[in-house]
Amino acid sequence: MTERDATRDELVPEEQTTLEPEPVLVPEVPSFDKLAEQSHTASELDLSRGSVLEVDNLKMYFPVKSGGLIRRKIGDVQAVDGISFEVPHGGSLGLVGESGCGKSTTGRLITRLYTPTGGRILFEDKDMAEMSNRELKPMRRQVQMIFQDPYTSLNPRHTVGSIIGAPLEVHNIVPKDKILPRVQELLEVVGLNPEHYNRYPNEFSGGQRQRIGIARALTLNPKLLVADEPVSALDVSIQAQVINLLQDIQKEFDVAFLFIAHDLAVVRHFCPEIAVMYLGKIVEIGDRDSIYSNAHHPYTQALLSAVPDIKQASIGGRRERIRLQGDVPSPINPPSGCRFRTRCPIAQEICAKHEPPLLQIGKRHKVACHFPGPIGHHPDTPVTAPLLGTDAYGSPDPGATPSPAITNKPGYDDTWFDLDAKTLGRA
Amino acid sequence: MTQTSTPSTRLDTDDFLVVENLTVEFPTPDGPVRAVNDLSYSVGMGETLGIVGESGSGKSVSSMAVLGLHDMQRTKITGSIRVGGTEVIGLDESGMRKIRGNSAAMIFQDALAALHPFYRVGAQLAEAYVVHHPSASKRDARRRAIEMLDRVGIPQPDKRVDDFPHQFSGGMRQRAMIAMGLINDPSLLIADEPTTALDVTVQAQILDLLQDLQREFNSAVIIITHDLGVVAEMADEVLVMYAGRCVEYGACKELLTHPEMPYTWGLLSSIPDVSADTDARLIPIPGNPPSLLDPPSGCSFHPRCAHTDKVPGALCATTLPELLPGGRGASHLKRCHLANPDEIFARDVLAEIAPDLVEETP
């Protein structure tokens, strides 16, 4: 560090003279082959290194107050209601769902911008859920966030240098005179001109601003980045640039991502593992193949079938799709039993009485449905009934006891429920 | 090659909307901005045209010109726009008003911003009806508003008609916008990013609705979007715009399976696909869209094009390519100097973005 700084001061004037004649508006375009080489294919899953974050039965209820003088609490918005998942070291988990399903709330809980109502957030085996602000400060270096809207998440009255340098100052990591070199290094990492540290956010385009937001999140060398819709505000042609940059960063700095997005195709490309949320609950979680080619939950199936497909152009017309009726119900007063049952094409009596457990049905595949199965092959009787100790209609069965296999813990077991044999065991 | 840049072969007298050599220029303190440059297209009854491009490529500006929504005092519009045979450019405000909302209507992207927050949804719908049906009574207009809300699938329309826009969900607001657009049975409907702010499930509902309504009313529809998936499922013809110009124009199936312009390739390669091979690469278009104050010389895409090395000399930087038929028939037009684009696409581009498709293409 010191070595580089010593040489820098001498280098500055020289650098500026060489940079000046370069025309600004004509960027050098590499040939297509080179461009393709620099781009990434879909990310792979690496399980050898354990998890960096474990979320266990996390809950966030926002109180709803009555109007009038005495604002009594009259209910709760159950924004996140008992979710569990793991994020692997240097890997990424995608969180998808419709707006209002609680995916952004989850992101804000993990960065502890909210204090959870219940549950645990284990970051490298330390529970962040109960920590005080003072205890949290060192943890915040490890968990950083990239925001959705690059136009509102940067202070328009601060220069890029002070925006990216602020975390260094807050956490007192380097002496004041070392902040600028680090800022310039970061600008280079995210593909911006390091000489532009003195500019204001309004001098940059949307894609460049998002790069600034990414540089700010990287300043403290975090181990986990929560990316809340990092590309949805950008133009199509710029989205791919930013996704490739995030993949570069993941490889180079070994950062884990919790990637929150509603674009199923982008999540598929970026995340080897995906969790699908509906109304505050995880309805299906698994690796890429389980979710995208072998979804067992009717909501995941409907969501996937709703995505418009370019390949449809060669066939013409619109794809056959599962049409979901109506809107997402209110999280203040969610439906009893399974929360999806009001819009579910295969709902039966048991769905109104019992909430389906998140049942592991494959090596890395869990689904919360009484009738899990591929499209058109959902079972006729609820597979969960014997596990819950009920009959097929959800009434208590005196002869049966609830199975201990039903838990709500993060991660996957070595044994799972085999859908064909309807028993627990290895496949 | 004696053809002009006007695709004269495509123009059909039956087409409801005919746009020829449209140019829209705005004066700004930094000089004139030519937002749309020499644009020609046509849409027939019952047909859907998809206009694709990035922000600032002139998609919205060109369609707003169709409805005369630009400030006539300042904006310089040349060329010709005929809506159902009536020339729109130069038409006075009262003549424009007869067309606007009656035979041609527009659906905007942000329904919350496009609906008036102080007026009830029903009142806003009824107003659109009364303006074009002066003899209609208030009760008729209200009945018609309820009928339209019912038609676009809003539950309990007789109750919801008295709601304010903020009481509607995002999908319902967009439905109300569509109801407002269709209340006078327009022959031309322009949908400007109708589903961009919506969730995929709601988007599918809205697209279904648009398609059902088009079938029912046999109207001409223009869908402006940046989502090629939406275009693939909805449009009969596609027009790709870049920096105010049309760079590729053709039938939807033809254009998306055999694109001939590097910008279209870039759009295709920079969005992942839900069913793609995981070995497919996501190749971005380098750089940023150009400033229209100072557009690049020659082909406006050349500063970002990764295929200029396949064109002899500095042709891309010096000469603007004409919009001409490529190697795949007269109805597929492209604005590019590449001599064998189909070959390059199949050999180089497809291998990277869809390795699973390469074997299928001969």
Q: Angle CA(B9)–CA(B48)–CA(B360) in degrees, nearest 5?
A: 80
Lowest mean pLDDT: which of A13-22, A84-93, B127-136?
A: A13-22
CB contact under 8 A, B267 and A236: yes
Q: Using a CB–CB cutoff of 8 Å, tell me whether A265 touches chain B.
A: yes
At A319 the pLDDT is: 73
Provide ipTM, 2 decimals. 0.84
- Residue B319 phi/psi, 5-degree rounding, is -120, 130
In a domain, A280, yes or no: no
User: Is it the case that residue B359 has pLDDT exceeding 60?
Assistant: no
Of the residues B154, B173, B223, B274, the best mutation for testing chain A's interface (the one with the most A CB atoms within 10 Å of its CB) is B274
- Tokens 């829209």 map to which residue? B24
> What's the structural domain count of chain A?
1
At A32 the pLDDT is: 81
Element (H, E) at B318: helix B315-318
CB contact under 8 A, B275 and A241: no
- What single DSSP character describes residue B290? P
User: pLDDT tier at A227 (50, 70, 90 boundaries)?
Assistant: very high
- What single DSSP character describes residue A313? G
Residues of B whose CB is below 8 A from A326: 155
In a domain, A226, yes or no: yes
Any bridge partners for residue A121, and if so which?
A55
| Alpha carbon distance A58, A283 (integer Å) | 15
Mean pLDDT value across residues A400-407: 74
User: Is it the case that residue A35 has pLDDT exceeding 90?
Assistant: no
Residues of A whose CB is below 8 A from B307: 31-32
Mean pLDDT value across residues A232-257: 90
At B13 the pLDDT is: 54
- What single DSSP character describes residue B189? E
User: Is it the case that residue A138 has pLDDT exceeding 50?
Assistant: yes
- What single DSSP character describes residue A396? B
B122 and B141 in contact (C-beta within 8 Å)? no
User: pLDDT tier at B145 (50, 70, 90 boundaries)?
Assistant: very high
CB contact under 8 A, A41 and B252: no
Written as six digits, the tokens of B248 are 């590729």
In a domain, A278, yes or no: no
User: pLDDT tier at A426 (50, 70, 90 boundaries)?
Assistant: low
Nearest residue of chain B to residue A263 (CA atoms): B200
User: Is it the case that residue B261 has pLDDT exceeding 50?
Assistant: yes
Any bridge partners for residue A423, and if so which?
A418
In a domain, A23, yes or no: no
CB contact under 8 A, B289 and A321: no
| Alpha carbon distance B336, A353 (integer Å) | 63
CA distance B286 to chain A (A): 7
Which of B267, B282, B352 has the CB atom closest to A243's CB atom?
B282
Q: Using a CB–CB cutoff of 8 Å, tell me whether A211 touches chain B.
A: no
Per the structure, the complete domain to which residue A113 belongs is given by 51-66+73-271
B49 and B222 in contact (C-beta within 8 Å)? yes
CB contact under 8 A, A292 and B274: yes
Q: Which residues of A368-383 are buried (b: 16+ CB within 10 A; e: fewer)?
A: bbbbbbeeeebeeebb
Give A 337-356 residues with CB within 8 A of chain B. Answer: none
A306 and B233 in contact (C-beta within 8 Å)? no
pLDDT tens profile B56-68: 888 889 999 999 9
Most confident region among A275-279, B106-110, B314-318, B351-355 by mean pLDDT: A275-279
In a domain, A98, yes or no: yes
Nearest residue of chain B to residue A304 (CA atoms): B274
At A16 the pLDDT is: 43
Written as six digits, the tokens of B158 are 């007789």
Of the residues B54, B55, B152, B200, the best mutation for testing chain A's interface (the one with the most A CB atoms within 10 Å of its CB) is B200
User: Is it the case that residue B211 has pLDDT exceeding 50?
Assistant: yes
Written as six digits, the tokens of A154 are 């940067």
CATH number for the domain including A162? 3.40.50.300
Lowest mean pLDDT: which of A403-407, B38-42, B117-121?
A: A403-407
At A423 the pLDDT is: 76
Handedness of CA B220, B145, B200, A231 (dihedral sign): positive
- Tokens 């027009």 map to which residue? B239
Give A 401-420 residues with CB within 8 A of chain B. Answer: none
In a domain, A182, yes or no: yes
User: pLDDT tier at A28 (50, 70, 90 boundaries)?
Assistant: low
| Alpha carbon distance A1, A11 (integer Å) | 15
| Alpha carbon distance A93, A272 (integer Å) | 7
Q: Using a CB–CB cutoff of 8 Å, tell me whether B171 touches chain A.
A: yes
User: pLDDT tier at A220 (50, 70, 90 boundaries)?
Assistant: very high
B66 and B20 in contact (C-beta within 8 Å)? no
CB contact under 8 A, B303 and A26: yes
Any bridge partners for residue A273, and if so which?
A93, A287
Lowest mean pLDDT: which of A222-236, A413-427, B268-282?
A: A413-427
pLDDT tens profile B109-143: 888 888 999 999 999 999 999 999 999 999 999 99
At B9 the pLDDT is: 42
Mean pLDDT value across residues A124-139: 90
Q: Using a CB–CB cutoff of 8 Å, tell me whether A243 touches chain B.
A: yes
CA distance B12 to chain A (A): 23
User: Is it the case that residue A130 has pLDDT exceeding 80?
Assistant: yes
In a domain, A395, yes or no: no
pTM of the prediction?
0.86
Element (H, E) at B357: helix B355-358
Q: Using a CB–CB cutoff of 8 Å, tell me whether A316 touches chain B.
A: yes
| Alpha carbon distance A164, A109 (integer Å) | 23
User: Is it the case that residue A297 has pLDDT exceeding 60?
Assistant: yes
Neighbours of A411 (CB within 10 A): 14
- Average pLDDT score over chain A: 85
At A11 the pLDDT is: 40
At B52 the pLDDT is: 93
User: pLDDT tier at B36 (50, 70, 90 boundaries)?
Assistant: very high
- What single DSSP character describes residue B348? I
Of the residues A236, A283, A287, A323, the best mutation for testing chain B's interface (the one with the most B CB atoms within 10 Å of its CB) is A236
Written as six digits, the tokens of B302 are 């050349």
Beta-carbon pairs below 8 A across chains A and B: 182
B89 and B80 in contact (C-beta within 8 Å)? yes
Give B 243-262 residues with CB within 8 A of chain A. Answer: 252-253, 255-257
| Alpha carbon distance B225, B267 (integer Å) | 12
User: pLDDT tier at B195 (50, 70, 90 boundaries)?
Assistant: confident
User: pLDDT tier at A20 (50, 70, 90 boundaries)?
Assistant: very low
At A23 the pLDDT is: 40
At A387 the pLDDT is: 84
Residues of B whose CB is below 8 A from A23: none
Q: Using a CB–CB cutoff of 8 Å, tell me whether A235 touches chain B.
A: yes
Among residues of chain A, what percentage have pLDDT more than 70? 92
**Pairwise pLDDT comparison (B280 vs B359), residue with the higher score:** B280
**Pairwise pLDDT comparison (B26 vs A308), residue with the higher score:** B26
User: Is it the case that residue A121 has pLDDT exceeding 80?
Assistant: yes
At B73 the pLDDT is: 86
